[in-house]
Structure 1
Amino acid sequence: MMPRPAPPDPMNPVSGTPTMRFHATRRSLLLGAAAVLAAPAISRAQTPVLRIGNQKGGLRSLIEASGQGKDLPYRIEWSEFPAAAPLLEALNAGAIDLGTQGDLAFLSVFANGAPIRAIGATRADAASQAILVPGQSTARTIADLRGRKVAANRGGWGQYLLRAALKREGIPHGEVTQVPLGPADASLAFRSGAVDAWVIWEPYNSIEIEGFGARILADGTGLTPTVSLLSVNEAALRDKRPLLTDFVRRNERGWAWAQENIPAFARSTSELTRIPEAMLRRAYTVQKTRAVPLDAALAAELQVAADQSVEFGVMARTIRVADAVDTGFTLASAR
């Protein structure tokens, strides 16, 4: 008689009949393959994530071009926004953790009760904000804007600079019609002649000057702080502080690199935005953007602008700027 095969050992998958051993081995291989395939997904899920809002050609271009996006101890999920307003809406809703925008745009949203705080700052030269007119315009001074239509974004740098320039010249703001338009719509209105002037900032200034023959009627020198802020949702401030601290440092190093490598920065941004390199080189040269400490001194300077913003209708109510900023990141970055 043929000896009976040994019964399968539940602790040994290769025991039993050849058929049983085949199926057991196949099952082990499949389970092993599944584990290998699942490993990257599990690892990816466990990697911390920083969700960052980007305005095209902005923060993402800086971080990637400067090399500060390498060797991250976390993963960045970028979201693209056409302007500061929708980015701040996403930040307010907690859909993103962090983004950058102009000081007054940030403070206006904070004044409305948004759960956001500023954790880092950069400053550009005030000449990077300007009131543009078409090359053929008869306007030569701010006084020549009387009775004319001027495009300027509501609740931000555009509205503030227009009102500040009119105030300096002693011109009642009611003598100029402000047309509240964001950059995309304002550029079309400006080029078509639907408005007589446009209050805007770089790189739009360089695009209009280099590409369409516009000229500067006045710029922001002596009128605006021209500060941009890295702002975060309060939930991220509570839950992701180490990640945010690391990113603030990378942002600072990125801007230091950009000032020394304007051609390379312009080339990288041009590839992302399709804006000609020459226009971006001009814009970056005018801006001279650099990281600055977000400290008590800067908060005091922004307080003056915030108070003036209430008079200008940029902000709905007076705020305490110190409540809108977290200076701990500046201190951490200095160490």
Structure 2
Amino acid sequence: MRPILTRRLLGTAALGLLAAPALAQSTPVLRIGNQKGGLRSLIEASGAGRDLPYRIEWSEFPAAAPLLEALNAGALDLGYQGDLAFLTVFASGAPLRGIGVARPSPAGQGILVRDDRIRSLADLRGRRIAGNRGGWGHYLIRAALKREGIAPEAVTINFLPPTDALLAFRSGAVDAWAIWEPYISVEIQQFGARTLVDGKGLTPSIMFVSAHEQAIRDKRPQLADFLRRFAAGWDWARGHIPDYARYNAALTRIPEAALQRAYAIEATAAAPLDEAVVQEFQAAADQAVEFGLLRERVAVRGALDLGFAPAARG
């Protein structure tokens, strides 16, 4: 009888092995792009990712541009990036939609200087300012100059990605740097920089959760659930800044004190993607055309799916 029993057990085990891949295939999967210290940290550090009714496949990217390229190509379902980066890719015809929003304070963007002789924007006439082309840095430089009535030609804008701009700023190859947190806090705390002007009243400050159109069609319940967890994650992070800073400091090697300062300044919160966001985003997009970030006007309503707004509220 024992051989027969063994065969029965083996048969049962074999059925279990066959069922496991089928079960895995039936579990929905969200493919999400992440930048170190970003969306994945928020979900995992806050505990918002517990008891998921689907699986998350995280893919790591060094910056928003390659992440958006992967999203555009359909290799991802979901990403998280700033408003201007998202707008630029959408304007090129990418099949993406913004489905959720977080709002960091525009005080988390700024133009940094180190030279004590530079006390105002007017002192930057004839000097070099670094910023990322087509992004928050570019926009902030142009908006700040416009507010002060200074012609763009009065300064030289060196378009550099953040890693290159950092080296140029510290070496003195540029006189000012338009950048965002936590770069700002690191430069202030460790390298004697100061903020000449911040983004308040000058720049949009909208972080979009963006999704591929195919994912919106096929995985809408999973996307809605993720947005609720996204909102819960930011609720936790605002109330646990030291814990969140400690978690990301270990992951990114950015000093914990700089992250604490950055998170306190940004005070990021999830917000509903509603008509107010549409209007603000449209105004920023129109300004981006004037500033040379975009070639032509973009109707931003087509870039946004407002149907997820209740989910984003949590």
* TM-score computed with the length of structure 2 as normaliser: 0.95
Q: Give how far 1:41 is off.
A: 3.3
Give the corresponding residue for 2:269.
290
- Report the 3-state secondary structure (helix = DSSP H, G, I; strand = E; otherwise coil) of the residue aligned with 1:78: strand
Matches within 5 A, 1:1-335: 22=3, 28-134=8-114, 136-334=115-313
> What is the rounded CA distance, in whole Å, between the counterparts of 1:56 and 1:171 in structure 2?
37
> What is the rounded CA distance, in whole Å, between the counterparts of 1:216 and 1:29 in structure 2?
71
- Whether the 8 Å CA contact 1:108–1:316 is kept in 2: the answer is no
- Higher-Rg structure is 1
> What is the rounded CA distance, in whole Å, between the counterparts of 2:152 and 2:22 in structure 1?
59
Q: Which amino acid aligns with 1:70?
A: R
Q: Give how far 1:292 is off.
A: 1.4
> What is the rounded CA distance, in whole Å, between the counterparts of 2:296 and 2:124 in structure 1?
28
**Which blocks of at least 5 consecutive residues in structure 2 are unaligned?**
none
Q: Give how far 1:225 is off.
A: 2.0
How far does the alpha carbon of each residue in 1:105-158 deviate from its partner, in whole angstroms, 9 at most, with x for none? 111111111111001111111110000112x45322111222222111111111
- Report the 3-state secondary structure (helix = DSSP H, G, I; strand = E; otherwise coil) of the residue aligned with 2:100: strand
Percent identical among aligned pairs is 62
- Report the 3-state secondary structure (helix = DSSP H, G, I; strand = E; otherwise coil) of the residue aligned with 2:178: strand
- Report the 3-state secondary structure (helix = DSSP H, G, I; strand = E; otherwise coil) of the residue aligned with 1:57: coil
Q: Which amino acid aligns with 1:187?
A: L
Q: Which amino acid aligns with 1:275?
A: I
Give the corresponding residue for 1:8.
none
1:40–1:273 distance in 2 versus 1, CA, 3 Å: farther
More off after superposition, 197-206 vs 138-147? 138-147
Q: Give how far 1:29 is off.
A: 4.5
> What is the rounded CA distance, in whole Å, between the counterparts of 1:121 and 1:167 in structure 2?
28
Q: Give how far 1:53 is off.
A: 0.9
- Whether the 8 Å CA contact 2:270–2:313 is kept in 1: the answer is no
> What is the rounded CA distance, in whole Å, between the counterparts of 2:240 and 2:52 in structure 1?
22
- Whether the 8 Å CA contact 2:102–2:206 is kept in 1: the answer is yes
1:333–1:216 distance in 2 versus 1, CA, 3 Å: closer
> What is the rounded CA distance, in whole Å, between the counterparts of 1:202 and 1:264 in structure 2?
18
> What is the rounded CA distance, in whole Å, between the counterparts of 1:123 and 1:332 in structure 2?
16
Q: Give how far 1:334 is off.
A: 4.8
Q: Which amino acid aligns with 2:198?
A: D
How far does the alpha carbon of each residue in 1:209-264 deviate from its partner, in whole angstroms, 9 at most, with x for none? 11222111111111012111111111111111000000111111111111111111
Aligned-residue CA RMSD in angstroms? 1.8
The aligned length equals: 314
> What is the rounded CA distance, in whole Å, between the counterparts of 2:313 and 2:45 in structure 1?
23
> What is the rounded CA distance, in whole Å, between the counterparts of 1:211 and 1:234 in structure 2?
43
> What is the rounded CA distance, in whole Å, between the counterparts of 1:333 and 1:303 in structure 2?
20
> What is the rounded CA distance, in whole Å, between the counterparts of 1:306 and 1:333 in structure 2?
23
> What is the rounded CA distance, in whole Å, between the counterparts of 1:80 and 1:195 in structure 2?
31
- Report the 3-state secondary structure (helix = DSSP H, G, I; strand = E; otherwise coil) of the residue aligned with 1:265: helix
> What is the rounded CA distance, in whole Å, between the counterparts of 1:295 and 1:201 in structure 2?
25
- Report the 3-state secondary structure (helix = DSSP H, G, I; strand = E; otherwise coil) of the residue aligned with 2:137: helix
- Whether the 8 Å CA contact 1:112–1:316 is kept in 2: the answer is no
Give the corresponding residue for 1:5.
none
- Report the 3-state secondary structure (helix = DSSP H, G, I; strand = E; otherwise coil) of the residue aligned with 1:138: coil
> What is the rounded CA distance, in whole Å, between the counterparts of 1:79 and 1:187 in structure 2?
26
